[in-house]
């Protein structure tokens, strides 16, 4: 790779954005772009990992073997999403351990949505339907985000999210054909998750400090309010098909705008939740901290193993042989 001057780098970066090409990790990029990407990718990765908790809590209590297998697979997918995303952040020079420390010390955010409790099994279905549905609306445009590793990770993540959304909807459809108590559970879960799902898209456009720059850099392709509206328009017919009522008396079709109007979001609640004051913030972070501490020995063992392998490879290279020819020690 040839060294480029800052002026050349800046010109190439501007052209890359202008022509809708991808910025790759070794390319020159403004410090602000690097910082913004690390912030967004880390927050996204943390959300996937913390997001394993609310649904994970139901794995042992899923009502059948089939539901347990589906839920296990979904929660494992979220772990995979977190791992791709931490890897994408590492391509920008971030250190995974440092990002985790920032999360557990409250210096980096994760999605507000995971600070609410999952009270019944219907919550598992509603998370799939509404939370994964909102995530898809937000993340499909990110497949065209300007940073290559993030955009590519999003393609795979969105495919899996789409399966997650359908499993949630199918679970709810099944419950809605069950007993009156089951239908009530679905309605109750919908009432509790609807407004927090709308908050997932972030603050309103006139109060979103990062949007203008992130849109100019084509990290974000649509504003928070545009995506929120898209989600509402997509979800209302799904609620009708399911037979549940969305808990918003102001929700109605606006023929002039060709969109659904909806009521005012409680932004004070949103601010409280993202500043650590949501119903489950403390528990989510305490759980994450415990998992990090309990996993320390695994990370140490993996690092020792990797160092041993690297040593074996170096030894093999010095002796002019391939690592596989070193017997058990070298190939381990």
Q: Work out how close the CB of 158 gets to ligand BYC at its nearest, in angstroms, rounded to a whole number.
A: 10
Q: Which of 197, 224, 235, 281 binds ligand BYC (CB under 6 A)?
A: 224
Residue 51 binding ligand BYC, by CB under 6 A: yes
- Taking the least distance from each CB to ligand BYC, the nearer of 117 and 243 is 117
Instruction: Report phi then psi at 22, rounded to 5.
Output: -100, 140
Stretch of 10-18, 41-49, 170-178, 311-319 lying at the interface with ligand BYC (CB under 6 A): 41-49
Residue 67 binding ligand BYC, by CB under 6 A: no
Q: Work out how close the CB of 20 gets to ligand BYC at its nearest, in angstroms, rounded to a whole number.
A: 19
Q: Which of 16, 28, 48, 284 binds ligand BYC (CB under 6 A)?
A: 48
Q: Work out how close the CB of 319 gets to ligand BYC at its nearest, in angstroms, rounded to a whole number.
A: 48
Stretch of 105-113, 116-124, 187-195, 244-252 lying at the interface with ligand BYC (CB under 6 A): 105-113
Q: Which residue is nearest to ligand BYC (CB)?
A: 51
Residue 272 binding ligand BYC, by CB under 6 A: no
In angstroms, rounded to a whole number, what is the distance separating the alpha carbons of residues 54 and 230? Answer: 26
- Taking the least distance from each CB to ligand BYC, the nearer of 45 and 176 is 45
Residue 88 binding ligand BYC, by CB under 6 A: no
Stretch of 89-97, 172-180, 210-218, 308-316 lying at the interface with ligand BYC (CB under 6 A): 210-218
Stretch of 109-117, 166-174, 275-283, 311-319 lying at the interface with ligand BYC (CB under 6 A): 109-117
Give me the half-sphere count of Cα atoms (radius 13 Å) on the Cβ side of residue 208.
20
Torsion of CA 291, 292, 294, 295, to 10 degrees: 110
Residue 102 binding ligand BYC, by CB under 6 A: no
Residue 162 binding ligand BYC, by CB under 6 A: no
Q: Work out how close the CB of 19 gets to ligand BYC at its nearest, in angstroms, rounded to a whole number.
A: 23
In angstroms, rounded to a whole number, what is the distance separating the alpha carbons of residues 161 and 140? Answer: 10
* Pattern 128-147, ligand BYC, x by CB under 6 A: ---xx--x--x---------
Q: Which of 140, 200, 246, 285 binds ligand BYC (CB under 6 A)?
A: 200
Residue 285 binding ligand BYC, by CB under 6 A: no
Residues that bind ligand BYC (CB under 6 A): 39-40, 43-44, 47-48, 51, 78, 109, 111-112, 131-132, 135, 138, 199-203, 208-211, 214, 220, 224, 274
């Amino acid at each position: 790779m040839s060294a480029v001057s800052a002026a050349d780098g800046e010109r190439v970066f501007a052209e890359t954005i202008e022509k809708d090409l991808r910025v790759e990790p070794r390319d020159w990029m403004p410090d602000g772009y690097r910082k913004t990407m690390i912030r967004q990718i880390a927050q996204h990765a943390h959300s996937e990992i913390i997001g394993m908790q609310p649904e994970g809590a139901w794995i042992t209590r899923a009502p059948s073997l089939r539901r347990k297998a589906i839920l296990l697979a979904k929660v494992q997918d979220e772990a995979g999403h977190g791992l791709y995303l931490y890897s994408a952040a590492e391509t920008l020079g971030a250190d995974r351990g440092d990002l985790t420390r920032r999360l557990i010390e409250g210096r980096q955010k994760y999605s507000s949505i995971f600070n609410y409790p999952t009270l019944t099994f219907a919550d598992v279905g509603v998370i799939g339907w509404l939370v994964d549905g909102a995530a898809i609306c937000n993340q499909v445009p990110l497949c065209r985000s300007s940073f290559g590793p993030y955009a590519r990770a999003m393609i795979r993540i969105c495919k899996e999210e789409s399966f997650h959304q359908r499993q949630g909807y199918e679970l709810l459809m099944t419950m809605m054909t069950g007993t009156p108590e089951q239908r009530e559970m679905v309605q109750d879960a919908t009432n509790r998750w609807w407004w927090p799902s709308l908050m997932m898209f972030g603050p309103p456009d006139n109060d979103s400090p990062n949007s203008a720059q992130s849109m100019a850099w084509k990290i974000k392709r649509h504003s928070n309010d545009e995506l929120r509206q898209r989600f509402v328009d997509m979800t209302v017919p799904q609620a009708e098909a399911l037979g549940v009522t969305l808990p918003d008396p102001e929700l109605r079709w606006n023929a002039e705008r060709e969109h659904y109007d909806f009521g005012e979001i409680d932004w004070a609640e949103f601010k409280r939740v993202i500043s650590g004051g949501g119903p489950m913030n403390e528990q989510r972070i305490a759980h994450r901290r415990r998992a990090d501490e309990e996993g320390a020995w695994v990370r140490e063992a993996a690092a020792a193993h990797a160092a041993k392998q690297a040593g074996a490879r170096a030894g093999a290279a010095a002796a002019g042989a391939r690592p596989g020819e070193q017997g058990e020690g070298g190939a381990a």
